[in-house]
C-alpha cells in the first residue's frame, strides 16, 4: 500500500514491486463489528508500513484487545510509514504500553536493527 522507501532498497537491494493489485479494505472496527471474540485476544499487525492506519481504524476493537504485536521500522522502509517513537506514542494514547521486542531484522551492511516486532499490552485490561 505504501511505496518502497530508500531504507528498504538499501537494506534489501533485491526488493522490488512484483505487481500491483486492487484489494478491498475495511477498518478493524468494521471487520469485527457485532462479533463476539473469545478472550484474551492477541492482535498481530504486519502490513508493510501501514500499521498506524490499521490502528487508527480500530478504536473500538482495541479496547478489548489484551496484546498487540506490531512490525515497526527504525529505517524508512516504506514512504509514509511512521517510525518507532511515533508508533509508541500512538499506542500509548490508546492505552497500550510497549513491553519488549519479540524479533528483529538487521541490516546486512551495518548490523543495525532496521525493523522489529514489538509487543504492546493494554494497561486497562491488565488491572481487570
* Per-residue pLDDT tens digits for 107-124: 777 887 878 999 999 999
Q: Determine contact, residues 97/123, Cβ cutoff 8 Å.
A: yes
Q: Does a cis peptide bond (omega within 30 degrees of 0) precede residue 75?
A: no
pLDDT above 80 for 105: yes
Whether pLDDT at 3 is above 60? no
Is 86 in contact with 98 (CB distance < 8 Å)? no
Residue entry with cell 509514509:
80
The whole-number pLDDT of residue 7 equals 64
**Which pLDDT score, from 0 to 100, does residue 5 have?**
65
Length of the chain: 128
Q: Over 60: is that where the pLDDT of 128 sits?
A: no
Q: Is the pLDDT of residue 62 over 70?
A: yes
Provide mean pLDDT across the span 12-36: 85
* 87-99 tens-digit pLDDT: 999 999 999 999 9
Domain boundaries, the chain: 6-126
99 vs 22, higher pLDDT: 99
CB atoms near residue 123 (< 10 Å): 12
Q: What is the pLDDT of residue 73?
A: 82
Amino acid at each position: 500500500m505504501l511505496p518502497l522507501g530508500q531504507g528498504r532498497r538499501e537494506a534489501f537491494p533485491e526488493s522490488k514491486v512484483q505487481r500491483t493489485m486492487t484489494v478491498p479494505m475495511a477498518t478493524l472496527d468494521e471487520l469485527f463489528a457485532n462479533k463476539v471474540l473469545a478472550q484474551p485476544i492477541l492482535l498481530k499487525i504486519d502490513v508493510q508500513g501501514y500499521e498506524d492506519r490499521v490502528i487508527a481504524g480500530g478504536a473500538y476493537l482495541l479496547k478489548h484487545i489484551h496484546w498487540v504485536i506490531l512490525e515497526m521500522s527504525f529505517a524508512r522502509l516504506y514512504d509514509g510509514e511512521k517510525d518507532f517513537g511515533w508508533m509508541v506514542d500512538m499506542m500509548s494514547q490508546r492505552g497500550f504500553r510497549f513491553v519488549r521486542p519479540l524479533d528483529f531484522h538487521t541490516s546486512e551492511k551495518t548490523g543495525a536493527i532496521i525493523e522489529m516486532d514489538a509487543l504492546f499490552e493494554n494497561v486497562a485490561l491488565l488491572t481487570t
